[in-house]
Copies of this chain bind each other. A is one copy, B any other.
Amino acid sequence: MDIKNPLYKNQGIHVVLALFTAEEGKVKVFLIKRKNQPFKDKWILLGGACYNNEDVDSAMKREMLEKAGLKNIKFKMFNVYSKPDRSPVCRMIAIAYIGVIDANRVKFLKETTKTQDADWFLIDRIPNLGYDHQEILGDAIEFLKGQIFDTNILKDLFPKYFTLPSLHKAYESILNKHVDRRNFRKRLLQKNIIIDTGKIESANGKKPSKLYMFAD
């Protein structure tokens, strides 16, 4: 049945993703440069329309696959953006998600998307974004800050096994402040967010590191 009432016809539903990764202990977000109006040449978050035959989570999965070739991403909805004029084209609400992937998949992503204008940006060096994506990304980082010590939301920020110092650097990068190493380890172990695997990383630097994995 076609919607006729002008009060609420021509509405659209978008999904938008703040996709994070960590490289060398620095947290980065994935952005795409627009090729067309509106916001031509501006960087924006990955996203797209939700189709009529899918729920918003499925739309987000499809968009990640189509626009970045990514499958099996861990992601979580965190807010809705709905100012009437947030898109100059038509009335469009955005369901916003956080996603995380590990650095190995980033390398793969860089190869497969090198013809596109897409890149990773340090979260403390973000350019001006198009639409209201600046606000969305800011909210995403705030949401992350509130979740990292209580959930395994960062599972998939690293490969299955990772060293504690690398995770520690990622936390400090997200929280944007110093975190005590000893308390950090205790806290995550006590809450069963990470697990000591007993394995050791064959040293590339100086003293070898123990390898951990996320629980769940």
Chain A positions near chain B (C-beta within 8 angstroms): 1-3, 6-13, 49-57, 77, 80, 82-84, 89-91, 93, 95
Which residues of B are found within 8 Å of A51, using beta-carbon distances? 7-8
Q: 8 tightest A-B contacts by CB?
A: A55-B82, A56-B82, A7-B51, A52-B91, A8-B49, A3-B10, A55-B83, A11-B13
Which residues of B are found within 8 Å of A57, using beta-carbon distances? 82
Which residues of B are found within 8 Å of A10, using beta-carbon distances? 1-3, 9, 52
* Given A7-B52, A8-B52, A56-B82, 12 new contacts (CB under 8 A): A1-B90, A3-B90, A8-B13, A8-B51, A9-B10, A10-B52, A11-B11, A11-B12, A11-B50, A50-B82, A52-B84, A82-B95
Cross-chain contact A7 with B49 (CB below 8 angstroms)? yes
A-B contact pairs, 29 of them (CB 8 A): A1-B10, A1-B89, A2-B10, A3-B12, A3-B90, A7-B49, A8-B49, A8-B52, A10-B52, A11-B11, A11-B12, A11-B13, A11-B50, A13-B13, A13-B82, A13-B93, A50-B82, A50-B93, A52-B91, A53-B84, A54-B84, A55-B82, A55-B84, A56-B82, A56-B93, A77-B80, A80-B80, A80-B95, A82-B95
Closest residue of B by beta carbon distance from A90 = B1
Closest residue of B by beta carbon distance from A2 = B10
Closest residue of B by beta carbon distance from A52 = B91
Which residues of B are found within 8 Å of A55, using beta-carbon distances? 82-84
Q: Among the interface residues A55, A57, A77, A83, which one has the most CB atoms of the partner chain B within 10 A?
A: A55
Closest residue of B by beta carbon distance from A7 = B51
Which residues of B are found within 8 Å of A49, using beta-carbon distances? 7-8
Closest residue of B by beta carbon distance from A89 = B1
Which residues of B are found within 8 Å of A6, using beta-carbon distances? 52
Closest residue of B by beta carbon distance from A51 = B7
Which residues of B are found within 8 Å of A9, using beta-carbon distances? 10, 52
Cross-chain contact B80 with A56 (CB below 8 angstroms)? yes
Which residues of B are found within 8 Å of A56, using beta-carbon distances? 80, 82, 93
